Amino acid sequence: MQLTLVQGLLLFIVGAICQFDQQTEAFYWFRPMVASFFTGIILGNVELGVTCGAVTELAYLGMTNVGGTVPPDPLFAGIMTVVLAYTTGKTPETALGLSYPFALLAQGIGILFKTVYSFVPHKLDKYAAEADVKHFNGLIWGVTIFEAVFCGFVIFLCTYALQAPIQAFVNSFPTWVTHGLEIAGGVLPAVGLAMLLLSTLKPETYPYLFIGFIMATFLKMPNVLPVAIVGAALAAIDYRYQKRFDECGTAAIDDGGDSDGI
Amino acid sequence: MASNPTNKKGEPLKTLSKKDITQLGINSLTEQIAFSFERMQAPGWTMNMIPGFKKIYGDSKEDLSEFMTYNMEFMNTEPHMATLLQGMVLAMEEKGTDRKLISSVRNGLFGPMAGIGDSLFWYTVLPITAGIACSLAKSGSVLGPLVFIAIYLVVGFSRIWFAHLGYNLGSKAVEKVGTATKYLTGAAGILGTTVIGALIPSYVTVEFQKKLVFGVGSTTVQSVFNQLLPNVLPLATVFLIYWLFKKKHVNTIAVIGGVIVFGLLMSLLNWM
C-alpha cells in the first residue's frame, strides 16, 4: 500500500515533534515504542504500529545517547519500520531490518548537526559577554527548531516521496565523509574540555589533572564517580592543610599572589 | 563579605520563591537543546537558569554577563542531574557566593552526577519501562505505548522535584560554608580538575585505525602510542588545543574547522 500525501505531511509534523523531544530527552517520544504508535495511528493501523514499536524498541534498547554519543537513530527506526511493514506487507521483524539504512541516515544527520552546531556556542559566548538574553535564547531556539523541522522533512521524504531513492542513496554514500565526521566528533569534545581547562588549570591544580587522567585510563570504572571521590579526598586534605597553614601565620602570602609564589 | 549580599549595582539580592524553583524544573525540560560536540549541553543549561538569575540579581548586566559566561563552559551530564545542579547553582547565586566557587562546584559535579543519572534513568528506568510496555505491545495492545508515555510523563516532570532538591541542598551547603569560602574554592578547583582529567579519556577519541602500520614490519602505529601510554593521543590533543587557545589566542571557530578538516583528512587517508 502507498502512503497518501496527507499521511506523509502528518508524519512530517509528528516526526518533527518527536525529533524535538529527542533533542531534549524530556518525554522519550523519540523511542520506537511511542514513535511507531503515532505512525500506526496516522496510517490507520494502530495494531501494526504497536507491534512494530515493540519489536523495534527491544532492538534499539541498548543504543543510548549516554556520554554525548549518537547511536543508529531509534526515532527513524521506529517510524520507518511501521511504514515499511505497511507498504511492503512484510512482518515487523523483516521491516525492522529494512529500516536500518534509514536509522543510519538519521544517525549521520545527527552527527552532522552536532558537529556543525559546534560553531553555535562561539556566537553564544559573545551574547553571554554582552548579557544579550534575547539573541542568546533566540539563537538556541532557532537552531533547535531548524534541526527538528529538517528531520521532519527528511522523514516526509523517506516515507512519502523518495523512499526507494533514499535507500539507494544511503547504500551508495561515500562512507569516508560520514567516517570523517565521526572522527571529528570524537575530537571535538577536546575543544570544550580545553576551554574548561582555561579557567580551572592553574599551577597548583596541574597535578590533579594527571591523577584523574591516569585513574580513568588504567582502572576499569563504570563511570567517573570513583575519580570524584578521590578528587574530593584530595581536596579535603588540601583544605585542611591550607587552613592550618594560614592559621599558623607562617607565610605572609595572602590572597592572590599564590600562583606566582616561588 | 557582608551578611547582606548585593549585586554589582549595590542593590540587595532578592530570593527565589517555591514557584520560581518549580519554574526552573519546567524550564530544564529543554536543558539539552542546541547540543553540540564542542560545548555539549552548555547552551540549554545556561538558558534555563536565566529567569531565576534575573529575579535574584535584577537588571544588573554585569552580573548577568558573568553568570552567562561561566555557565557557557563545557557541560554534559544526565538531564535530571542537570536540573538538580541548576537548583544548587541558583541557591548559591542567591546567597551571593563567590562565582569562582560556584563554577568550581559546577565543574566538579557534572561528571560524577552524570554517572549516577545515567545508571538511574538509562540503565534502570528505560529497561524496566520498555520491558513492561513491550510485553503489553507485542500482542498489539495500545496499553503498551500508553503505559510507556504515562511513565515518561512522570519521569519528565520529576525534574521539578530535582530542582527543589538541588536548591535545598545548595542553600544548606552555602549556610555551612561561611568564612571558609577561600579554602573551599581551592578545594573545589582540585575536585574539578581531577574529574576533568578523567573526562579526557572518556569523552575524547583520537585513535589510529588498527591496520595502520609503519612502512616496514607489522608494528601498528596505534600500538606504539598504546605502549607509551594509553590515551596519550586524547591527552595530547586537549593540551594542543589548550595551548592554541592560551598562548596563540586562536579563534574557536578556526579550531573547530580545523578539527573537522582533520577528521575528513584522516578518513580519506584511511589512517583513523
Distance (Å, whole) CA B266 – CA B159 = 42
Measured in degrees and rounded to the nearest 5, phi and psi for residue B58 equal 60, -140
Those residues whose C-beta lies under 8 Å from the C-beta of residue A233, and which sit 6 or more positions away, are none
In this structure, chain B runs to a length of 272
Q: Report pLDDT for B171.
A: 85
Q: Considering only residues B122 and A39, tell me which one the structure prediction assigns the higher pLDDT.
A: A39
Minimum distance, in Å, between the CA of residue B214 and any CA atom of chain A: 21
Residues of A in contact with B252 (CB under 8 A): 121-122, 125, 191, 195
Rounded Cα–Cα distance for residues A243 and A223 (Å): 32
- Chain A residues lying within 8 Å of B70, measured CB to CB: 199
Give A259's pLDDT tier (boundaries 50, 70, 90): very low
Which SS3 state, helix, strand or coil, does residue A220 take? coil
In percent, the amount of chain A with pLDDT more than 90 equals: 47
Percent of chain B with pLDDT over 90: 49
Nearest CB to B134 within list A34, A58, A234: A58
A180 contacts in B (CB within 8 Å)? Answer: 260, 263-268
Across the interface, whether the CB atoms of B264 and A177 are under 8 A apart is answered yes
pLDDT at residue A258, rounded to an integer: 46
Give the whole-angstrom CA distance, residue A128 versus residue A124: 6
Q: Confidence band (pLDDT; 50, 70, 90) for A72?
A: confident
What pLDDT is recorded for position B199? Answer: 85
**Residue range A218-245: mean pLDDT, rounded:** 86
Chain B residues close to A19, C-beta within 8 Å: none
**CA dist., res. B245 & res. B240, Å (int):** 9
Q: How many CB atoms lie within 10 A of CB A247?
A: 8
Residues A54-78 have a mean pLDDT of 78
The whole-number pLDDT of residue B3 equals: 60
Q: How distant is the Cα of A43 from the closest Cα of chain B, in angstroms? A: 15
More confident residue, A2 or B33: B33
Nearest Cα of chain A lies from the Cα of B75 at a distance, in angstroms, of 9
CB contact, 8 Å: B259 with chain A? Answer: yes
The pTM score is 0.81
The verdict on B150 touching A (C-beta cutoff 8 Å) is: no
Tracing cell 584530595 back to the chain, one arrives at: A234
* Interface contact B213, partner A, CB < 8 A: no
Mean pLDDT across A230-235: 90
Confidence class for position A230, pLDDT limits 50, 70, 90: very high
Residue of B nearest to A35 (CA): B145
pLDDT at B121: 84
Model confidence band, residue A35 (pLDDT cutoffs 50, 70, 90): very high
The answer for residues whose C-beta is within 8 angstroms of residue A16's C-beta and 6 or more apart is A148, A149, A151, A152, A153, A155
- Residues from chain B contacting residue A236 (CB–CB below 8 Å): 187
Q: Give the pLDDT confidence score for residue A262 in this predicted structure.
A: 38
A181 to chain B, closest Cα gap in Å: 6
CA distance A158 to chain B (A): 24
Cβ <8 Å between A224 and B199: yes
Distance CA A9, CA A3 (A): 10
Across A17-34, average pLDDT: 95
Q: Does residue A67 carry a pLDDT above 70?
A: no
- Look at residues A125, A119, A202, A122 and name the one whose alpha carbon lies nearest to residue B66: A125
* Of A193, A235, A239, Cβ closest to residue B200: A193
Between B26 and B214, where is the model more confident? Answer: B26
Give the per-residue pLDDT at A188.
81
Q: What is the ipTM of this complex?
A: 0.81
pLDDT at residue B146 tops 80: yes
> What integer pLDDT is reported at residue B62 of this predicted model?
95
| Predicted pLDDT of residue A172 | 72
Helix, strand, coil shares, percent, chain A, to 5: 80, 0, 20
Could you give the residue ranges of the DSSP H alpha helices within chain B?
A: 18-27, 42-57, 61-71, 79-94, 99-117, 126-137, 143-157, 159-177, 181-203, 221-228, 232-246, 252-269
Record: contact B190-A140, CB cut-off 8 A: no
| Cβ B49 vs Cβ B24: under 8 Å | yes
- Closest partner CB to A183 (pick from B115, B239, B272): B272
Closest Cβ–Cβ partner in B34, B109, B122 for A144 = B34
Is a pLDDT exceeding 90 seen at residue B162? yes
Amino acid code (one letter) for B86: Q
Asked if the model's pLDDT at residue B176 lies above 90, the reply is no
Contact A186 B200 (CB under 8 A): no
CB of B113 closer than 8 Å to CB of B84: yes
Residues 205-224 of A with CB under 8 A from B: 205-206, 208-218, 222-224
Mean pLDDT of B124-145: 86
pLDDT single digits (tens) B228-253: 899 999 999 999 999 998 888 887 77
Interface test with B, best of A126, A193, A210 (most B CBs within 10 A): A193
Q: What is the reported pLDDT for A261?
A: 41
State which amino acid sits at residue B164: H
Q: Is A91 an interface residue toward B (CB < 8 Å)? A: no
- The C-alpha atoms of residue B63 and residue B168 are separated, in whole angstroms, by 23
Q: Within 10 Å of residue B124's Cβ, how many Cβ atoms?
A: 11
pLDDT for B260 equals: 84
Lookup result for grid cell 585510563: A217
**A172 exposed, middle or buried (CB, 10 Å; 0-12, 13-18, 19+)?**
exposed
Q: Which residues from B are below 8 Å from A194, CB to CB? A: 238-239, 241-242, 244-245
Asked if residue A185 lies in contact with residue A115, where contact means CB atoms within 8 angstroms, the answer is yes
Q: How far apart are CA B1 and CA A65, in angstroms?
A: 43
- How many percent of chain B have pLDDT more than 70? 96
In whole angstroms, what is the distance from residue A149 CA to residue B13 CA?
41
Q: Residue A260's pLDDT is what?
A: 45
Reported as a pLDDT band with limits 50, 70 and 90, residue A256 is very low
Q: Do B190 and A216 touch (CB under 8 A)?
A: no
Taking the C-alpha atoms of residue B226 and residue A197, their distance in angstroms, rounded to an integer, is 25
Closest Cβ opposite residue B194 in set A53, A202, A231: A231
For residue range B182-231, list pLDDT tens digits in order: 777 788 888 888 888 988 988 888 988 888 877 667 778 888 888 889 99
Give the pLDDT of residue B192: 82
Q: Which of B70, B90, B69, B79 has its CA nearest to residue B41?
A: B79
Asked if residue A205 has pLDDT above 70, the reply is: yes
Q: How confident is the model at residue B1 (pLDDT cuts 50, 70, 90)?
A: very low
Q: Is the pLDDT of residue B77 over 70?
A: yes
Contact B134 A54 (CB under 8 A): yes
The pLDDT of residue B184: 77
Does residue B114 contact residue B105 with C-beta atoms inside 8 Å? no
In the predicted model, what is the mean pLDDT of chain A?
A: 86
* Chain segment A111-137, per-residue pLDDT in tens: 899 999 989 999 999 999 999 999 999
Q: How confident is the model at residue A69 (pLDDT cuts 50, 70, 90)?
A: low
